[in-house]
Amino acid sequence: MGKCNMQKTVDFIKETFKTNEFIPLHEPRFIGNEKKYLNDCIDSTFVSSVGKYVDTFEKEFAKIVGSKFAIATVNGTAALHISLLLAGVKRDDEVITQPLTFIATSNAISYLGAKPIFIDVDLDTMGLSPKSLKNFLETNCEVKENICINKTTGKTIKACVPMHTFGHPCKIEEIKKICDIWNIILVEDAAESLGSFYKNKHTGTFGKIGAFSFNGNKIITSGGGGVIVTDDEVLAKRAKHITTTAKIPHPYEYVHDEIAYNYRLPNINAALLVAQLEQLERFLVSKRELATKYKEFFSNLDINFIEEPKDSKSNYWLQAILLNDINQRNEFLEFSNKNGVMTRPIWRLMNELEMFKNCQKDDLKNAKYLEERVVNIPSSVIL
Ligand SMILES: *Cc1c(COP(=O)(O)O)cnc(C)c1O
């Protein structure tokens, strides 16, 4: 990239964010009704897991993504955990996912005693590759009595969890078709993709179940929080039941009908979230404007800015560039972070982590390529 272009990039980012102070990768913005709703929530004393903001949020969220039901949870990892449990994933099952993702995806699979299988991503979407998925299944698997069996391990492949990396939708329609043929349940990790659409349908609504996150660095935040979406009423009811300790509704008695989880989103977090949801459109406009600016700037320097893939509309949650090789990447990370602009490499591949190094995988050629080259650059909403 050269020292001169690195300096130009740092200057451009400071100019764009209108500051000479340290620029973080992604800061939340509280510019709407956040304080008002939080005060109202405190005054009501309903700060815990029952309250009107949880209900309002669930209704509004379902409307926005176009799903029939939404069930709020304490965080996105919990949403994924319960989504996989509802998909029927059990101990010793296998779940296909991508190695290029945040750790939560593989953690959630592991909580159920299941094992991830890592399949390669596409270069244009950075999400699970339908071609690689199909190839893996045709080479290694067979369907017997409606169950997808991995011939190498003899185990059942129960679910598949693609992820929409940085908000860029993966080829989810093709992935769904393949999963249907192979009797694999599709669960979407849409943690990063609120406001992202594939062919005008919201991400997270293609599979049987989808999970979103509202962690502090996501496009909107409740401090910590998550949500499960589904069109299946039975699953939705079950999601609510097992995230609220499986308590049988009763005015004063505590009776529970199974071992379950305390995963409900507190009303005080939901109050913040309802206010944030009101700002979503504005945030999306700002992020798209920033992407346009970055694209123009980087094209003049002959550096690859990562744009939304074909057939999709991205939320541009985290902006990213693709550098030439790992040396250039390291140079740029070093220079920018030293000069007050926070940048970050894409995740270390899951199969390289100690806990997952023995998991089955394909060649992961594209994932490796991206791992060595993709860098996230400041992406906060500019006021
Ligand atoms: C943020 C995120 C999650 C969920 O994270 P929480 O911090 O538990 O809300 C899951 N998957 C991916 C890909 C994420 O980026």
H or E segment and range at residue 96: strand 94-97
For residue range 348-372, what is the model confidence (pLDDT) as tens digits? 999 999 999 999 999 999 999 999 9
Q: What 3-state DSSP class applies to 144? A: strand
Cα Rg, the chain, nearest whole Å = 21
Residue 372's CB is within 10 A of a number of other CB atoms, namely 18
Torsion sign over Cα 120, 329, 196, 36 = positive
> What pLDDT is attached to residue 49?
82
Question: Are residues 167 and 316 in contact, defined by beta-carbon separation less than 8 angstroms?
Answer: yes
Ligand 1 atom at minimum distance from 225 CA: 9
pTM: 0.97
- At which residue do the structure tokens 């045709």 appear? 138
Per-residue burial over 33-67, b if 16 or more Cβ lie within 10 Å, else e, is: bbeebbeebeeeebbebebebbebbbebbbeebeb
DSSP string, 38-77: HHHHHHH---SS-SHHHHHHHHHHHHHHT-SEEEEESSHH
Q: How large is the average pLDDT for residues 229-247? A: 98
Nearest CA to ligand 1 atom 6: 76
% of the chain residues with pLDDT over 70: 100
Judge whether residue 23 has pLDDT over 90: yes
pLDDT the model gives residue 246? 97
- Of 8, 32, 15, 10, nearest to 382 (Cα)? 15
Asked whether the predicted pLDDT for residue 336 surpasses 90, the reply is yes
- H/E stretch holding 212 reads strand 209-213
- Find out whether the beta carbon of 379 lies less than 6 Å from any atom of ligand 1: no
CB 267, CB 52: distance < 8 Å: yes
Atom 7, ligand 1: which residue's CA is nearest? 215
Q: Which ranges constitute the DSSP H helices of 301-325? A: none
Confidence band for 1, pLDDT divided at 50, 70 and 90: confident
Whole-number pLDDT of residue 18: 96
The answer to whether the CB of 269 is under 6 A from ligand 1 is no
Rounded mean pLDDT of 12-41? 97
pLDDT at 209 exceeding the cut of 90:
yes
Q: Please name the CATH architecture into which domain 3-30+280-351+360-377 falls.
A: Alpha-Beta Complex (3.90)
Residue carrying structure tokens 């401090």: 223
**Which residue has its alpha carbon closest to ligand 1 atom 9?**
76
Q: Is the CB of 165 under 6 A from ligand 1?
A: no
Residue 23 per-residue DSSP state: B
**Ligand 1 center–CA 213 separation, angstroms:** 5
- Provide the percentage of residues in the chain whose pLDDT is more than 90: 98
The confidence score (pLDDT) of residue 116 equals 98
Ligand 1 contact, 188 CB (< 6 A): no
pLDDT in tens, 129-167: 999 999 999 999 999 999 999 999 999 999 999 999 999
Phi-psi region of 121 (alpha: psi -120 to 50; beta: other; left: phi over 0): beta
- The ligand 1 atom at the shortest distance from the C-alpha of residue 213 is 9
Q: pLDDT value at position 25?
A: 98
Residue range 179-202: average pLDDT?
A: 98
Confidence band for 124, pLDDT divided at 50, 70 and 90: very high
Q: What are phi and psi of 361, to 5 degrees?
A: -155, 165
| Cβ proximity of 188 and 161 under 8 Å | yes
CB 239 within 8 A of CB 86: yes
Q: How far apart, in whole angstroms, are the C-alpha atoms of residue 74 and residue 266?
A: 7
Dihedral sign, Cα of residue 207, residue 89, residue 190, residue 75:
positive
- What is the dotted CATH code of the domain comprising 34-278? 3.40.640.10
Q: What's the 357 CA to ligand 1 centre distance in angstroms?
A: 21
* Ligand 1: nearest atom to the Cα of 102: 13
Contact 163 CB / ligand 1 (< 6 Å): yes
Query: Coil, helix or strand for 123?
Result: coil
Specify the domain boundaries for CATH 3.40.640.10 within the chain: 34-278
Give residue 77 CA to ligand 1 midpoint distance, Å.
Answer: 6
Query: Pairing mode, if any, of strands 185-189 and 209-213?
Result: parallel
Return the residue matching tokens 């944030």: 276
Q: Which of 100, 96, 105, 95 is nearest to 122 (CA)?
A: 100
Q: Give yes or no for a contact between 243 and 91, defined as CB atoms under 8 angstroms apart.
A: no
pLDDT tens column, 282-327? 999 999 999 999 999 999 999 999 999 999 999 999 999 999 999 9
Q: Could you tell me if 364 and 314 are in contact, meaning their C-beta atoms sit under 8 angstroms apart?
A: no
Q: Which two tokens stand for residue 370?
A: 């991206």
* pLDDT for the residue numbered 265: 97
Interatomic CA distance for residues 302 and 1, integer angstroms? 9
